[in-house]
Amino acid sequence: MDRSVNQPEYFHTFLAETQEHLLTMQRWLSVMSNHPEDQEALLCLFRSLHSIKGMAASMGFKGLAKVAHGMEDGLDRLRRSGKLPAEAVEPLYQGLELLEARLADIASGNPESQEGAGVGDPKERVHTLRISIPGGDVALWMLVVNELMRLGTLRSCEPAPEKIAEGTLPAVLEVDLLCRFEIEEIEQRCQRICDSVAVELTSRADAEPGLAMQHGVGQPTVRVSTNLLDRCVGLSGELLTVRHRLQASLKQGNQEEIEGSCLQLDRLLADLRHQVLDARMVPLEAVTASLPRLVKDLCRNTGKAIRLNLVGNEVRLDRAILEAMSEPLVHMVRNAVDHGIEEQGTITIAARRDRDRVTLDVIDDGRGFDVEWLLERARQDGFLEAGENTHLSGSELLQLICRPGFSTARRITETSGRGIGMDVVRHTIDKLGGTLQLLPGQGQGACFRFILPLTVSIVPVLLVEAGGQTVALPLMWIEQTLDVPRQQLRCFDDSHTIDLGNRQLPVVFLSRHLGHSPFSGNGSSTIICELRGGHAGLVVDAVIGQREVFVKPLDFPLNRIQGLSGATILGDGRVVFLIDPCSLLPSPSLIPSKGEAL
Amino acid sequence: MARALLLASGRALFGLDIKEVREVLKAPPLHYVPLAPALVLGAINIHDAVVPVFDFSQLRGAQSEVGEHIVVLQGACMALAVNAVHGLCSRTIAMPGGIMHPWVRETFISVRGLAGLIDPVALQQTLEQRLSTTRSLPAERVSEWIAR
């Protein structure tokens, strides 16, 4: 590879643009598989391939350029014949997969090893090793561990180096080592410390690819139009002017002027926020582009004839929401293919924007839900009592199929039927602040409706106090807050419930979860935040108030702390963390739903 | 010659390559991090970024002995609370590796005695192991399902 041309400043642009072309190719290829005579689709495919070839060659990625060139040659012949034969679609899909794999390799930084050039660094692998040193002492073991760390990254080490340092000498040391070296080299390096070191390889696996290309929106970048950037620059200029005006009026002590400037500042900030959030918007196509191929593959495996109909692909959503929606959408499509449609049918994914939210319907015209069978299954699994609820509404049915461990499938297939997916889908939607509905039967089939917010960056929260500390609870989780005298709490064993007249609500103490005594406050009443869905209540010491906050996503290592969903900085500079209340609750299956007796 | 910021934690000395240090703060306001293990002392607000502060004594397996100096690492989004910061020193006669901690890259002789040079990447890996929890929902649900 010619490093002189492969300049890092263009690398990310190259990745983003190539990926965009691959998405375009996917779209046109799915059009062509239905309309082989579509000349425009053929030309667009050709143009994308040509661009990929040109960009890859100029960046010095010869392998990628070669694959694109080969495909372009083939397509050129077809272009002249003016029609795409049906049997040409499959090789084109395979070519597309090859291009994606090459791009993923390039993105993860090891293009040479995959392009057969035979030069450069070999690929990193995880080696599972068993190491023994007959008669080795602490110092010797530590030197070997140290050498292994120099060779690569120790993914796991049993016993841990600290234990060895404390004198726990292993008979055999078991490690997972991520490195570029072969077993012989590792053994040789260890034997330089002591001849009697024996290294045995038990298994080896390739390291995970650096970039998942199949679904999702790829690199964490968005393309922003220069118009939008110009507007942002203009707004920051206006903000500067207002600041000067505010400073001048502060010096003069002119109250009216100060108020006027503050109002203008408010308007400009709202405008700037709106423009910047707009820059994060990505069309839905970024996640639906891979679905036609998924359906095609699933059809091939199951022998069904299913058409995928995508409506409203141009609707734009926040990038973070789209990323999170990728998996649920794939899951819904798989479910529809595996369990919804029997022999042939259509799956429709329709999106539309309604003011500040997006409605996304996933509809199949299959056999729909066999409610009787579902009820029987629910009773067998102990989700329902015998004789209970013989008629289910849409929301009750949804609640049932979203229960962890409940599967609507009669049989488990490779891809679905284990009863895990729908629970995860609902959890994802809840986290995003959206809702999932099951629409009542419009004829046959099933229709799931996702209602999603446009953005996740600015979130309304409830600031509460518990155990003397302030935390934020996303408002989307809270159904209502109640001021209840503490005496009204009933205690059974170690758990508490509250009588709300028509039902009993189990409650958990936030302060206890935060490591403080639950009755640390001296107030005689308690605030219950009833969590959405009516599953449980949360007892806090005080409610400070509601705010709209800019949520900062958590980076490593804070994102490893379970239960935190973000952080925000308040006006006085205080850092307050957002808690995901669901993480505080015991397993949802243990908590009775709204209306159920305890 | 390679230079390091010399830190003291208990009676042990550690060094951080100056390229790895973003800034040193004296007693900034620490904000509460809910649900965090004792290892996390709190979080600080640095130029509008939320940075967690770790108790360095606990990290090295010693008893918690919180000092008032906080060293913010470059690149890695984290800070360490240490007993004292002794300023810059040159790393003379450095030997690769450390015996006690996997995140000590080398041992060197400083003006105050032997010190271990901290490898921030390895330190992050150690933290990852200590903070890792059963966060992945699907896997958890799979085992729940299997257990039934």
* Residue-level pLDDT at A418: 41
Residue A119: inside a domain: no
The candidate with the shortest Cα–Cα distance to A219, out of A107, A316, A96, is: A107
CB contact under 8 A, B35 and A514: yes
* Residue-level pLDDT at A220: 61
Q: What is the span of the domain harbouring residue A537?
A: 458-590
Percentage of chain A exceeding pLDDT 90: 6
Q: Is the pLDDT of residue A429 over 90?
A: no
Residue A521: inside a domain: yes
Q: How far apart are CA B45 and CA A575, in angstroms?
A: 7
* Residue-level pLDDT at A472: 93
Evaluate whether A157 touches A172 at the Cβ level (below 8 Å). no
**Mean pLDDT confidence for A530-538:** 66
* Residue-level pLDDT at B42: 92
**Mean pLDDT confidence for B72-99:** 83
**Mean pLDDT confidence for A366-383:** 76
CB contact under 8 A, B144 and A404: yes
A513 in B contact zone (CB under 8 Å): yes
A569 in B contact zone (CB under 8 Å): yes
Q: How far apart are CA A455 and CA A54, in angstroms?
A: 36
What kind and span of H or E run contains A577?
strand A575-579
Same domain? For A441 and A477 the reply is no
Cα angle A393-A396-A399, degrees, rounded to a multiple of 5: 150
Q: Residue A362's Cα: distance from chain center in Å?
A: 19
**Among A115-129, A208-222, A485-499, B53-67, the range of highest mean pLDDT:** B53-67
Residue A180: inside a domain: yes
Q: How far B107 CA sits from the closest chain A CA (Å)? A: 12
Least confident of A31-40, A76-85, A136-145, A452-461: A76-85
* Residue-level pLDDT at A533: 53
Residue A464 corresponds to which amino acid? V
* Residue length of chain B: 148
- The verdict on whether omega for the bond into residue A159 sits within 30 degrees of 0, i.e. cis, is yes
Q: What token pair was written down for A173?
A: 């040391």
**Which residues of chain A does B52 touch, with a Cβ-Cβ cutoff of 8 Å?**
557-558
* Residue-level pLDDT at B137: 34
- Within 8 A by CB and 6+ apart from B7, the residues are B13, B14, B15, B16, B56, B69, B71, B80, B82, B83, B84, B85, B86
**Owner of token pair 């690929």:** A123
pLDDT per residue as tens digits for the range A390-408: 666 777 777 777 776 666 5
Could you tell me the CATH number of the domain that includes residue A169? 3.30.70.1110
pLDDT per residue as tens digits for the range B5-48: 999 988 889 999 999 999 999 888 899 999 888 889 999 988 77
Residue A60: inside a domain: yes
Q: How far apart are CA A356 and CA A351, in angstroms?
A: 13
Q: What is the span of the domain harbouring residue B28?
A: 3-147
Q: What is the 3-state secondary structure (H, E, C) of A323-366?
A: HHHHHHHHHHHHHHHHHHCCCEEEEEEEEEEECCEEEEEEEECC
* Residue-level pLDDT at A163: 80
The number of C-alpha atoms within 13 Å of A177 and in the hemisphere containing its C-beta is: 27
In a 3-state reduction of DSSP, which class is residue A517?
coil
* Residue-level pLDDT at A109: 67
**Which residues of chain A does B132 touch, with a Cβ-Cβ cutoff of 8 Å?**
560
Of B36, B135, B148, the CB nearest to A405: B148
**Mean pLDDT confidence for A120-143:** 78
Q: Which residue of A has its CA nearest to B124?
A: A557
* Residue-level pLDDT at B16: 93
Q: Is the pLDDT of residue B100 over 60?
A: yes
CB contact under 8 A, A153 and B125: yes
Q: How far B138 CA sits from the closest chain A CA (Å)? A: 7
Could you tell me the CATH number of the domain that includes residue B44? 2.40.50.180
3-state helix, strand, coil in chain B (%, to 5): 20, 45, 35
Per-residue b/e over A151-175, b at no fewer than 16 CB within 10 Å? bbbbeebeebbeebbeeeebeebeb
Evaluate whether A210 touches A11 at the Cβ level (below 8 Å). no
Percentage of chain A exceeding pLDDT 70: 81
**Count of structural domains, chain B:** 1
Same domain? For A471 and A565 the reply is yes
CB contact under 8 A, A587 and B144: yes
Same domain? For A272 and A344 the reply is no
Between residues A455 and B78, the one the model is more confident about = B78
* Residue-level pLDDT at A596: 33
* Residue-level pLDDT at B81: 92
Same domain? For A245 and A328 the reply is no
Residue A584's pLDDT band, with cuts at 50, 70 and 90, is: confident
Q: What token pair was written down for A47?
A: 């143009």
CB contact under 8 A, A423 and B50: no
**Which residues of chain A does B77 touch, with a Cβ-Cβ cutoff of 8 Å?**
555-558
What kind and span of H or E run contains A555?
none
**Which residues of chain B does A558 touch, with a Cβ-Cβ cutoff of 8 Å?**
33, 43, 50, 52, 77
Burial-class residue A372 by CB neighbours within 10 Å (0-12, 13-18, 19+): exposed
Q: Residue A58's Cα: distance from chain center in Å?
A: 33
**Which residues of chain B does A562 touch, with a Cβ-Cβ cutoff of 8 Å?**
35, 133-135
Sign of the C-alpha dihedral computed for residues A366, A370, A373 and A377 taken in this order: positive
pLDDT per residue as tens digits for the range A269-291: 888 888 888 888 888 888 888 88
Between residues A251 and A182, the one the model is more confident about = A251
Q: Is the pLDDT of residue B144 over 80?
A: no
Residue A161: inside a domain: yes
Same domain? For A302 and A167 the reply is no
**Which residues of chain B does A145 touch, with a Cβ-Cβ cutoff of 8 Å?**
102
Number of A:B CB contacts under 8 A?
111
Q: How far B78 CA sits from the closest chain A CA (Å)? A: 8
Same domain? For A240 and A132 the reply is no
Residue A496's pLDDT band, with cuts at 50, 70 and 90, is: confident
Q: What token pair was written down for A243?
A: 């600041």
Phi and psi angles of residue A412, each rounded to the nearest 5 degrees, phi first = -90, 125
Same domain? For A326 and A435 the reply is yes
Could you tell me the CATH number of the domain that includes residue A91? 1.20.120.160
A424 in B contact zone (CB under 8 Å): yes
CB contact under 8 A, B32 and A470: yes
Mean pLDDT of chain A: 77
**Mean pLDDT confidence for A558-587:** 81
Same domain? For A489 and A351 the reply is no
CB contact under 8 A, A420 and B145: yes
Same domain? For A427 and A371 the reply is yes
Residue A159: inside a domain: yes
CB contact under 8 A, A165 and B99: yes
**Mean pLDDT confidence for A229-241:** 90
CB contact under 8 A, A562 and B100: no
Q: How far apart are CA B88 and CA A240, in angstroms?
A: 40
Same domain? For A131 and A38 the reply is no
**Which residues of chain A does B32 touch, with a Cβ-Cβ cutoff of 8 Å?**
469-470, 577
- The verdict on whether omega for the bond into residue A557 sits within 30 degrees of 0, i.e. cis, is yes
* Residue-level pLDDT at A401: 76
Could you tell me the CATH number of the domain that includes residue A534? 2.40.50.180
Same domain? For A150 and A39 the reply is no
**Which residues of chain A does B31 touch, with a Cβ-Cβ cutoff of 8 Å?**
574-576
Least confident of A154-158, A220-224, A291-295: A220-224
Q: Is the pLDDT of residue A123 over 70?
A: no
- Within 8 A by CB and 6+ apart from A332, the residues are A362, A425, A448
Q: Is the pLDDT of residue B136 over 60?
A: no
Evaluate whether B39 touches B58 at the Cβ level (below 8 Å). yes
* Residue-level pLDDT at B82: 92
**Count of structural domains, chain A:** 5
Of A404, A560, A563, the CB nearest to B131: A560
A579 in B contact zone (CB under 8 Å): yes
Last residue of a domain, one of A261, A279, A297: A279
Edge-first strand listing for the sheet containing A357-364:
A305-311, A344-354, A357-364, A446-453, A435-439
A205 in B contact zone (CB under 8 Å): no
Same domain? For A538 and A574 the reply is yes
**Mean pLDDT confidence for B73-81:** 86
Residue A598: inside a domain: no
- Within 8 A by CB and 6+ apart from A9, the residues are none
- Within 8 A by CB and 6+ apart from A255, the residues are none
- Within 8 A by CB and 6+ apart from A370, the residues are none
